Every structure is written in C-alpha cells, then in structure tokens.
C-alpha cells in the first residue's frame, strides 16, 4: 500500500487509482473428514421432506427446525457489510421444484463463528469438522497462513455448511482491505482464494453552518462522519476549544481524504487536507503540509498550528506561584525572585517535556532537588524541579514534546509536592506562561512560496465547498 503514502511537492497526491488483487490456489486433501453434524442435518432434511417447510437457523452446533415457517428460509446474521452473499443463494421464495436438487443447491448459513479469547483458527476449524490435514493444506497457502495466524478475539469467520453438515466454504475478512475465501471441494480438497482490495483514495469536501451549538448535528446534515469532525477539532485544537468555544452561527468547510472499496463504497475517511472554521466571526484556516521532515498543519499565512511550546508541563493545572521577579521565598523567607511557575499537584503526577529538545541535565541540584533540564532550538532551555522520580530518560536523549520526563515530588527546598518550572532564553529567565513558540513556527522564503503555491488547489476546493453542497472532488 505504499502508493497511499506517496507525496509530491509537499502534498499528498490528490488521486490514486484503486482496484483489487486476486490470488487463487487449490490444495488437494487425501481424505474427506466425516462430520457428526451430518446426522442432525439429515434429520432436518427429513423434516423438510415430511412437512414441506423448514427453517435452518445459522448455528454451528445445531440445526433447528421450525415447522410453522414455510417455505424454506435461511436466517443469517450477516454483519459482513463488505461482502455480498446474496448472489450465492436462490432468491427467497423461489424454491426449486425438485427437493433433491435443493439439497445440492442450498448450503446452510452463513454461520457466524466468532473467535473467543485464546482461540486459534486451527481449533475453530477442527471443532467445525475440518481434518488436521485439510487445515494443514489451508495454512500452506502463505496468504491464508499470514491472515489466520493473526486471528484475534472478536474476529468472525463465516461458515457455509451443506445441508448434510459439511463445511463448503469459510470466509474471513478481518478488514475492508483483505478477504479470504476457503472452499472445501467435494473430494475434500482445499481451494484458497485471497483478495487484496486496494482502496481508492479520493478527495472529498463539505461545508456546514451551525444552526445550534452542535457541530455534530450540522456535520451529519452535510454528510460528514463524526470522525471527520473530531479530526477537524484536533487540527484546530491549538486555537479553538471545541468543547466550549463553538457557537450557533459558526461555519466551516473541510477538504478531506475518503477511501473507497472495490464496490465504490466509502469505507473510511483519512486525513483532513484543508479546513476553514469561522468561530464567532473569527476565521481560522489549516492546510496539511510537509516541510523539511514532518507533515503538519499550517495556517493559510504559513504559521504552524501546533505550538512548539505546550503551555503547561502537567495535566491538572493548579498554579500556586507565578513568575515574579520580586517575591518573598516561602522557605528562605527573604526576597528572592521566583524565576518560574509552580504547579501544585499530588506526588507522582506525570511531568511532560513542554517542547521537543535534548536532555541536558538529569540529577540533584541543591534547592531544586531532582531536576531535569532540556535544551531546545534557538537558545531555549526548560527546567523541571523537585521531582519525586525521573522518567525513562537519560542525558543526551532527544525527546519529543509531551514526553514523560518525571513525576511531581518535593525533593530539595519545597514546602510540599509541586513542580517548579522555568523557561530560559540565552541565559535569561522568561515567563513560561507567555511562551508559545521556539521562534521556528513560521514558514519563510522559498518554503513559504512553495507552501503558497501548493495550497492554491486546496484553497479553491475550500471555496467550492463553501459555495456547493457536499461533493466528491473529481480529479
Ligand atoms: Zn517555584
């Protein structure tokens, strides 16, 4: 599926062709496995012949006759949305005139067999009447082997069983992208059919206006899934709080990826490629863009949306002391500048790196107790003090923003558990709460030009989305 990841001039390709790949193999078995179910099935068939009506309930262990129902009906609990089984069965009510021919025509099922905890394909197949030899033949197929050895709790197999109780086919589709069909032929030999469905990527767009405060209602009316909405909320999360900021009258337009299966059904959405959100009259926009080494969202003017500094290094925010150059120290009882911010939090609360950088110090330092320092781009340093314990980090490690670096404690000079957090630029302390950027968040020069020309298609699609109802963009 490497083709989906292909990028061109900083953007993903707007269109990739779909299709499916098919492999087919036949494996010969030496012996056909008799089935104990044959006897029960025969009884059911007798019921059919005697009363002229029977309902075969899809259950792997028993066939239940229901004499009140007529004519033949196959009850299935088909939840395999991507597979169309209807072609395999005669239309309901169109009973063949010869009941003997019927025996050959109509398998039972599909019977859903779901995988229990600790179960394997081997066990399931054995329980349902396949011989070890037949299973060996199935697993000799490398596609079948690869898919079946990864069977997990909750996966579902479909068994088609002949009226005499023999397995005719096993179907397995753990994802929309691959499908396995195993046929057990009359002579007991095995036929494995593997289909790889290459999803077709298309660019979709939509727009909506919030009639009330609910973005999900408006999105639904515009034909958008809740996944697209939550992805959009994530894109704008540095600027808009979707739990409290949004209001009736807000508008948005979105350009996003949709993946279609070989039947032309939209099976899932992918990334947001561009979006515009008007929140209480203020417009925010976002474009997915690949700069030197990362794919990230930028505003239309070329500002990276993700802040290079997180505001707070701990999750539950209770600031007990702010940056203050002239305060009285609670332990030393004399005027000493508070060069950072204190966060009150229980001992053991995780502490995260507020920006990506390199661990430059980890150890004990007088009043600071257990302390970690991180060096960042453009002369920035962050410091985290009074730690109870360190995270799994070492001096020299390059850490990403959000990396767990330690736990709140009260080591060093501290009245109780809290995190003392400092930010320093070129040796000078600055107020951490005013720091959002390492100064490398804006595209400039050639990369800005490249970004501007590259976003022009998306800008046009956003404009189109705003002027038209939801639609699939043609290539
Ligand atoms: Zn402090």
Last residue of a domain, one of 173, 197, 221: 197
Judgement on whether residues 167 and 29 belong to the same structural domain of the protein: yes
**238 domain-assigned:** yes
**92 domain-assigned:** yes
Q: Please write the tens of the pLDDT for every residue from 388-444.
A: 999 999 999 999 999 999 999 999 998 899 999 999 999 999 999 888 888 878 899
Judgement on whether residues 374 and 473 belong to the same structural domain of the protein: no
- Mean pLDDT highest for which of 56-65, 207-216, 233-242, 403-412? 403-412
Judgement on whether residues 349 and 329 belong to the same structural domain of the protein: yes
Could you tell me the CATH number of the domain that includes residue 339? 2.70.70.10
Q: Please write the tens of the pLDDT for every residue from 81-97.
A: 333 333 333 343 444 44
Find the 397 Cα to ligand 1 centroid distance in Å. 25
Last residue of a domain, one of 148, 165, 197: 197
Which tokens sit at 287? 């474009």
**44 domain-assigned:** yes
Judgement on whether residues 45 and 111 belong to the same structural domain of the protein: yes
Give the residue-averaged pLDDT of 94-104: 48
Containing structural domain, residue 162 = 24-197
Judgement on whether residues 191 and 203 belong to the same structural domain of the protein: no
Full-model pTM: 0.59
Q: Give the count of domains, the chain.
A: 3
Find the 388 Cα to ligand 1 centroid distance in Å. 15
Find the 354 Cα to ligand 1 centroid distance in Å. 17
- Would the CA dihedral through 60, 62, 68, 71 be positive or negative? positive
Give the residue-averaged pLDDT of 187-214: 91
**314 domain-assigned:** no
Find the 418 Cα to ligand 1 centroid distance in Å. 8
Q: Which region among 96-110, 244-258, 291-305, 396-410 has the lowest average model confidence (pLDDT)?
A: 96-110
Judgement on whether residues 347 and 390 belong to the same structural domain of the protein: yes
**109 domain-assigned:** yes
Residue 129 Cα distances to 7, 61, 123, 183, angstroms: 49, 11, 10, 14
Which tokens sit at 433? 């709460």
**439 domain-assigned:** no
Judgement on whether residues 327 and 241 belong to the same structural domain of the protein: no
Judgement on whether residues 285 and 327 belong to the same structural domain of the protein: no
Contacts of 62 (CB under 8 A, 6+ apart): 40
User: How many C-beta atoms surround the C-beta of residue 170 within 10 A?
Assistant: 27
Judgement on whether residues 149 and 32 belong to the same structural domain of the protein: yes
Find the 434 Cα to ligand 1 centroid distance in Å. 16
Could you tell me the CATH number of the domain that includes residue 264? 3.10.450.350
Judgement on whether residues 192 and 206 belong to the same structural domain of the protein: no
**303 domain-assigned:** yes
User: How many C-beta atoms surround the C-beta of residue 17 within 10 A?
Assistant: 9
Find the 330 Cα to ligand 1 centroid distance in Å. 10
Q: Report the candidate in 109, 88, 91, 137 with the shortest Cα–Cα distance to residue 37.
A: 109
Judgement on whether residues 161 and 39 belong to the same structural domain of the protein: yes
**32 domain-assigned:** yes
Judgement on whether residues 393 and 454 belong to the same structural domain of the protein: no
Higher pLDDT, 319 or 36: 319
Last residue of a domain, one of 158, 177, 197: 197
Mean pLDDT of the chain: 78
DSSP for 54-91, please give it. Answer: -EEE--SS-----TTS-S-EEE-----TT---GGGSPP
Find the 344 Cα to ligand 1 centroid distance in Å. 10
């Amino acid at each position: 599926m490497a083709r989906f990841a292909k990028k061109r001039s900083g953007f993903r390709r707007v269109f990739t062709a779909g299709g499916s790949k098919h492999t087919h193999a036949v494996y010969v078995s030496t012996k056909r496995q008799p089935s104990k179910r044959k006897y029960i099935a025969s009884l059911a068939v007798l019921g059919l012949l005697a009363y002229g009506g029977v309902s075969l309930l899809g259950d792997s262990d028993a066939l239940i006759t229901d004499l009140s129902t007529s004519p033949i009906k196959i009850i299935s609990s088909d939840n395999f949305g991507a597979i169309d089984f209807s072609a395999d069965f005669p239309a309901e009510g169109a009973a063949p005139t010869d009941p003997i021919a019927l025996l050959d025509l109509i398998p039972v099922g599909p019977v859903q067999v779901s995988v229990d905890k600790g179960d394997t394909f081997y066990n399931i197949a054995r329980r349902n009447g396949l011989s070890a030899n037949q299973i060996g033949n199935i697993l000799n197929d490398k596609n079948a082997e690869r898919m079946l050895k990864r069977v997990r709790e909750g996966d579902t197999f479909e068994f088609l069983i002949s009226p005499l109780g023999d397995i005719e086919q096993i179907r397995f589709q753990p994802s929309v992208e691959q499908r396995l069909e195993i046929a057990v032929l009359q002579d007991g030999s095995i036929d494995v059919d593997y289909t790889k469905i290459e999803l077709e990527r298309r660019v979709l767009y939509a727009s909506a206006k919030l009639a009330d405060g609910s973005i999900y209602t408006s999105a639904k009316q515009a034909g958008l899934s809740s996944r697209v909405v939550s992805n959009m909320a994530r894109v704008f999360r540095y600027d808009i709080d979707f739990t409290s900021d949004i209001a009736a009258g807000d508008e948005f337009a979105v350009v996003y990826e949709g993946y279609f299966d070989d039947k032309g059904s939209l099976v899932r959405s992918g990334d947001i490629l561009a979006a515009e959100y008007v929140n209480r009259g203020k417009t925010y926009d976002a474009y997915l863009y690949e700069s030197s080494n990362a794919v990230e969202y930028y505003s239309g003017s070329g500002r990276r949306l993700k802040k290079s500094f997180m505001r707070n290094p701990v999750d539950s925010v209770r600031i007990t002391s702010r940056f203050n150059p002239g305060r009285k120290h609670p332990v030393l009882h004399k005027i000493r500048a508070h060069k950072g911010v204190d966060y009150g939090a229980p001992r053991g609360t995780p502490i995260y790196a507020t920006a990506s950088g390199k661990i430059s110090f980890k150890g004990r330092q007088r009043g600071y107790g257990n302390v970690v320092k991180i060096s960042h781009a453009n002369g920035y340093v962050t410091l985290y003090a009074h730690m109870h314990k360190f995270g799994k980090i070492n001096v020299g490690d390059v850490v990403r923003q959000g990396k767990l670096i330690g736990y709140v404690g009260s080591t060093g000079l501290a009245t109780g558990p809290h995190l003392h957090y400092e930010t320093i630029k070129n040796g000078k302390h600055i107020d951490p709460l005013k720091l959002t950027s390492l100064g490398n968040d804006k595209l400039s020069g050639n990369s800005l030009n490249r970004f501007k020309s590259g976003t022009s298609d998306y800008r046009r699609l956003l404009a189109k989305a705003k002027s038209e109802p939801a639609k699939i963009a043609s290539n």
